Amino acid sequence: MRALYVEEHGGPEVLKLGERPIPKIRGDEVLVKVRAAGMNHLDVWVRRGVEGHSFPLPMILGCDGAGEIAQVGDLVSGVAEGDRVAISPGFTPVATEESLGGDHHLDHRYGIFGETRDGTCAEYVSVPAANLLPMPDDMTFEDAAAIPLAALTAHHMIADRACVRPGMDVLIHAAGSGVSIYAIQIARLYGARVFATSSSDDKLERARMLGAEVLINYAQEGWVKRVKEVTDRRGVDVVIDHVGESTFAGSLRSLARGGSIVTCGATSGPKLEADLRLIFFKSLSILGSTMGGMGEMLQVWRLACRGQIRPVVDRVLPLSEAATGHRALEERAAFGKVILVPGE
């Protein structure tokens, strides 16, 4: 089968499109013929490499995907060849206290497709049956592949870690990113007023269409000052920050007393400086967040199937143009998700 993989870390030039063996499935797995694969910033990190972390190379990239079941393992029931499914991106290799309690993302053996086992940027991928998400008839493969990882991440940050409630103010950075497009929608769904930042007026207008009410172009005005003005100096209750180094100090200053920063990434860098006095005087919380449990994934998938949150696809590319997709993510040139089509 054709697959997109990396054998060494580096720039987009290390991406390889070539032949790899069709995966063999275990009894509790199915083989999915991939029709669409969703790109995430994790694909970029796996390609680049992360200091202090080892990836099992060579690795077929891709965390998200959707397609048709091509083969069913002997121990699998409830699905059949030809079923249209999306793929939940996270898994644990064995039943554990965390996984059985619904928090499999907290298990130290937790893995993600395209990071710890071969992913979805291929014509076929082997998937544990527990990771299958049935697709409604009116959902396209491209939309289905745009949902799981980013929407789950956003929901866990908003609903579980920050416990957003009606009437709260929530500031969401980088309005056009995959996580942020869902965070905007989910924060609105939970009754919050959403502040969104971007350096692009076009992205901010599209964020408004998703539910953001206060739009801040940080290239034209100080976003901390604007937050204080709009909230009458109170600050926001929650900041959703996956940018990291360049925004963290300002995010702290933007919070109301008792407020929380929730972070799931560090695209601008991992090093932080913070005034501890600000944190304890204002009773602030700094919350880390990675993915979410399988039960939560099913909740998020139900919201998507009902149309209560909707995917935003920036562009669809053939697998042969994956480097273009990687550059778009690195240059923040996309609003929403970049989708790769393995069969083209």
Give the model's pLDDT for residue 245: 72
Residue 55 structural domain: 2-147+311-341
* Co-location of 128 and 218 in the same domain: no
pLDDT of residue 88: 96
**Nearest Cα to 181, choosing from 226, 240, 139?**
240
Question: Is residue 51 domain-resident?
Answer: yes
Whether omega before 58 lies within 30 degrees of 0, making that bond cis, reads yes
Is 112 contained in some domain?
Answer: yes
Q: Burial, 96: exposed, middle or buried (Cβ in 10 Å; 0-12, 13-18, 19+)?
A: middle
The helix (run of H) or strand (run of E) holding residue 237 is: strand 236-240
Which H or E run contains 127? strand 124-128
Question: In terms of domains, do 267 and 135 share one?
Answer: no
Residue 304, class by beta-carbon neighbours within 10 Å (0-12 exposed, 13-18 middle, 19+ buried)? Answer: buried
One domain for residues 92 and 156 = no
Question: What's the pTM?
Answer: 0.94
For residue 257, the domain's CATH number is 3.40.50.720
Structure tokens at 94: 């064995």
Residues 99 and 175 in one domain: no
Place of tokens 């920063």: 261
Kindly state the DSSP code that residue 131 receives in the 8-state scheme: G
Are residues 85 and 196 part of one domain?
Answer: no
Same domain, 268 and 316: no
- Is residue 295, in this structure, part of any structural domain at all? no
134 and 249 fall within a common domain: no
Do 122 and 241 fall within a single domain?
Answer: no
What pLDDT was estimated at residue 344? 61
Residue 63: predicted pLDDT: 96
SS3 for 9-42, per residue? CCCHHHCEEEECCCCCCCCCEEEEEEEEEECCHH
User: Where does residue 332 fall: left (phi above 0), alpha (psi -120 to 50 degrees), or beta otherwise?
Assistant: left
From first to last of its 344 residues, the chain has per-residue pLDDT tens of 999 999 999 999 999 999 999 999 999 999 999 999 999 999 999 999 988 888 999 999 999 999 999 999 999 999 999 999 999 999 887 778 888 788 888 888 889 999 999 999 999 999 999 999 999 999 999 999 999 999 999 999 999 999 999 999 999 998 988 899 999 999 999 999 999 999 999 999 999 999 999 999 998 999 999 999 999 999 999 999 988 777 788 899 999 999 999 998 777 677 777 788 888 889 999 999 999 999 999 999 999 999 999 999 999 999 999 999 999 999 888 999 999 999 76
Whether residues 143 and 9 share a domain: the answer is yes
Ramachandran assignment for 328, one of left (phi > 0), alpha (psi -120 to 50 degrees), beta (any other): alpha
Print burial letters for 27-45: b (CB count within 10 Å at least 16), e (below 16).
eebbbbbbbbbbbbbbbbb
| In-domain check, residue 141 | yes
Same-domain check for residues 28 and 124? yes
Q: How many helices (H) and strands (E) does the chain have?
A: 11, 18
Strand partners, 319: none
The DSSP 8-state label assigned to residue 227 in this structure reads: H
Same domain, 56 and 111: yes
CATH of the domain at 141: 3.90.180.10
Cβ contact 82:69 at 8 Å:
yes
Give the pLDDT of residue 265. Answer: 79
DSSP run (H or E) holding 261: strand 255-263
On whether residue 118 sits in a domain, the answer given is yes
Residue type, 283: S
Indicate the number of domains in the chain: 2
Token couple for 271:
């090093």
